């Protein structure tokens, strides 16, 4: 049962397994364990990031392609739901149609970009995706009658997901079963299912070919695999999962704008999480996202405290000011590429006895 759920890709380290179980339990019971709108929002953000980062890992970690257009697909998914819900009014049909259109658009775009630029070197692809993503972001903020421009779109979700909706009169285990909670569990089950599907994909024969291309594309080609086709497929798949992640985020926030889903910061966050969590391990996405989103809130608190105690030295105070937390994440990123190229998961796995390799 567990074997087929995890596609025979076990954590292969007791520590990793323990952390994963802890995260799973914490996320599954978040509304009851950590009541409050703020902590639920953090949990939902972790969920969305798990899916986004895992889909990016399919591209970066498993296929060895660096793309900077991943947030573009994330944004397409979010805009799909947002635009459909604004135009058609709240309803499940609007969400379904929005997601369907977004998936089609993402697939086409990923296909075009892939066929156009994946033939050439990795660097070409990285640069072209960077340019395309920037153009898309401008497009989204320019087409204001359609996308709401810089202000974005606020929209209503189906009634069952609205905060005012109450399933039961009484509270259950100290939490009221309202629309937010239902939305949270919608996110949770969708992310869990999609994550397991991604795990299935990377452990399929198709996923093995992707890894072969990552290790040595020339050899993979010589073995008879059309590397362009496989790379493009990987690009399209990653784009589709990112689109779904974007749609989930839009449903959760009931809002979407350029800064929420398309900004380059999110792209950088995704990149940081993949590398820190461990490239080429789906579990790295889970651990990395949980760590990162926590750090995002707590590192800033810690830095505020350090900065306060350095008040006498202006430069140090500025260096540790909470707004500069990205600086320290950047340092962490660079040093983890140097010293822990396999990330948290790879590191922990290397420490574990080799017995788990079966």
Partner 1 sequence: MSTQSQAAAQRPAGTAERPAAATRSRTPRAADVDRLPWLLVPLLALLALPLVGSLPSWVTLTVAGLAMGMIIFIIASGLTLIFGLMDVLNFGHGVFIALGAFVAVSVLGPMGALTGSASMAANLVAVGAAMLAAMAVAGAIGYVFERLIVRPVYGQHLKQILITMGGMIIGEELIKVVWGPEQIPLPLPQGLRGAYIVGDAAIEKYRVIAVVVGLAVFVAMLFVLNRTKIGLLIRAGVQDREMVESLGYRIRRLFVGVFVAGSALAGLGGVMWGLYQQNVIPQMGAQVNILIFIVIIIGGLGSAGGCFVGALLVGLMANYTGFLAPKVALFSNILLMVAILLWRPQGLYPVAKR
196-200: which pairs have CB atoms within 8 A and are 24 or more residues apart?
A: 196/5, 196/6, 196/7, 198/54, 198/55, 198/58, 198/241, 198/282, 199/6, 199/7, 199/9, 199/282, 200/7
Minimum CB distance to partner 1, residue 225 (Å):
20
Is the Cβ–Cβ distance between 300 and 325 less than 8 Å?
Answer: yes
Percent composition of the chain: helix, strand, coil (DSSP 3-state, to 5): 75, 5, 20
Distance (Å) of CA 301 to CA 8, 43, 90, 294, 322: 40, 18, 38, 11, 7
* 308 near partner 1, judged by CB under 8 A: no
Task: Compute the distance between CA of residue 306 and CA of residue 288 in angstroms, rounded to an integer.
Answer: 24
* 305 near partner 1, judged by CB under 8 A: no
- Judged by beta carbon, residue 59 or residue 181, the one nearer partner 1 is 59
Q: Quick one: which of 28, 130, 186, 295 contacts partner 1 (CB under 8 A)?
A: 130
Is the Cβ–Cβ distance between 57 and 285 less than 8 Å?
Answer: yes
Is the Cβ–Cβ distance between 65 and 231 less than 8 Å?
Answer: yes
Secondary structure letter of residue 157 according to DSSP: P
* 38 near partner 1, judged by CB under 8 A: no
Residue 172's DSSP bridge partners are: 175
Task: Compute the distance between CA of residue 310 and CA of residue 316 in angstroms, rounded to an integer.
Answer: 6
Q: Rounded to the nearest 5 degrees, what angle is found at the Cα of 50, between the Cα atoms of 90 and 122?
A: 110
* 14 near partner 1, judged by CB under 8 A: no
* 104 near partner 1, judged by CB under 8 A: no
Return the closest-CA partner of residue 288 out of 300, 301, 279: 279
* 337 near partner 1, judged by CB under 8 A: yes
* 323 near partner 1, judged by CB under 8 A: yes
Q: Quick one: which of 66, 105, 192, 299 contacts partner 1 (CB under 8 A)?
A: 66
Task: Compute the distance between CA of residue 62 and CA of residue 48 in angstroms, rounded to an integer.
Answer: 20
- Judged by beta carbon, residue 73 or residue 125, the one nearer partner 1 is 125
Q: Kindly determine how many residues on this chain lie close enough to bind partner 1 according to the rule CB under 8 A.
A: 40
Q: Quick one: which of 223, 334, 350, 351 contacts partner 1 (CB under 8 A)?
A: 334
Q: Quick one: which of 264, 294, 298, 305 contacts partner 1 (CB under 8 A)?
A: 264
Return the closest-CA partner of residue 242 out of 267, 264, 259, 265: 267
Q: Quick one: which of 182, 333, 347, 356 contacts partner 1 (CB under 8 A)?
A: 333
Minimum CB distance to partner 1, residue 127 (Å):
4
Q: Which part of the chain contacts partner 1 (CB under 8 A), choosing from 136-144, 182-190, 238-246, 349-357?
A: 136-144
Q: Quick one: which of 139, 182, 299, 352 contacts partner 1 (CB under 8 A)?
A: 139
* 163 near partner 1, judged by CB under 8 A: no
Minimum CB distance to partner 1, residue 345 (Å):
17
Q: Quick one: which of 18, 92, 341, 351 contacts partner 1 (CB under 8 A)?
A: 341
Distance (Å) of CA 118 to CA 67, 220, 227, 237: 10, 15, 9, 15
* 135 near partner 1, judged by CB under 8 A: yes
- Judged by beta carbon, residue 40 or residue 238, the one nearer partner 1 is 238
Q: Quick one: which of 14, 121, 208, 219 contacts partner 1 (CB under 8 A)?
A: 121
* 271 near partner 1, judged by CB under 8 A: yes
Binding site for partner 1 (CB under 8 A): 64, 66, 116, 119-124, 126-128, 130-132, 134-135, 138-139, 142, 264, 268, 271, 275, 315, 318-319, 321, 323-324, 326-327, 329-331, 333-334, 337-338, 341
């Amino acid at each position: 049962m567990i074997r087929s759920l995890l596609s025979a890709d076990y954590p292969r380290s007791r520590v990793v397994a323990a952390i994963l179980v802890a995260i799973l339990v914490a996320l599954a019971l978040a509304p009851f364990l950590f009541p409050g709108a703020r902590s639920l929002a953090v949990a939902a953000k972790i969920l969305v990031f798990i899916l986004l980062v895992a889909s990016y890992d399919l591209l970066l970690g498993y296929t060895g392609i660096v793309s900077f257009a991943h947030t573009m697909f994330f944004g397409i998914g979010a805009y799909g739901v947002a635009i459909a819900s604004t135009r058609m009014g709240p309803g499940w049909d609007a969400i379904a149609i929005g997601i369907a259109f977004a998936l089609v658009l993402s697939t086409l775009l990923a296909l075009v970009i892939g066929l156009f630029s994946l033939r050439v070197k990795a660097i070409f692809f990285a640069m072209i995706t960077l340019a395309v993503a920037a153009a898309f972001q401008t497009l989204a903020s320019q087409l204001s009658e359609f996308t709401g421009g810089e202000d974005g779109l606020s929209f209503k979700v189906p009634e069952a997901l609205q905060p005012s909706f109450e399933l039961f009169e009484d509270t259950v285990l100290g939490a009221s079963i309202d629309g937010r909670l239902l939305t949270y569990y919608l996110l949770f089950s969708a992310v869990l299912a999609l994550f397991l599907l991604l795990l299935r994909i990377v452990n399929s024969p198709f996923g093995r070919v992707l890894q072969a291309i990552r290790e040595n594309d020339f050899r993979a080609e010589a073995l008879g695999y059309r590397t362009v086709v496989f790379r493009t497929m990987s690009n399209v798949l990653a784009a589709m999962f990112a689109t779904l992640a974007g749609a989930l985020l839009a449903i959760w926030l009931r809002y979407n704008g350029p800064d929420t889903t398309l900004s380059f910061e999110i792209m950088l966050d995704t990149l940081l999480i993949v590398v820190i969590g461990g490239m080429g391990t789906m579990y790295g996405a889970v651990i990395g996202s949980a760590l990162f989103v926590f750090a995002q809130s707590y590192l800033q608190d810690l830095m505020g405290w350090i900065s306060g105690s350095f008040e006498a030295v202006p430069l140090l105070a500025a260096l540790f000011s909470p707004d500069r937390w990205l600086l320290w994440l950047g340092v962490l990123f660079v040093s983890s590429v140097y010293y822990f190229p396999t990330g948290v998961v790879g590191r922990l796995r290397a420490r574990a006895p080799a017995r788990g390799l079966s």
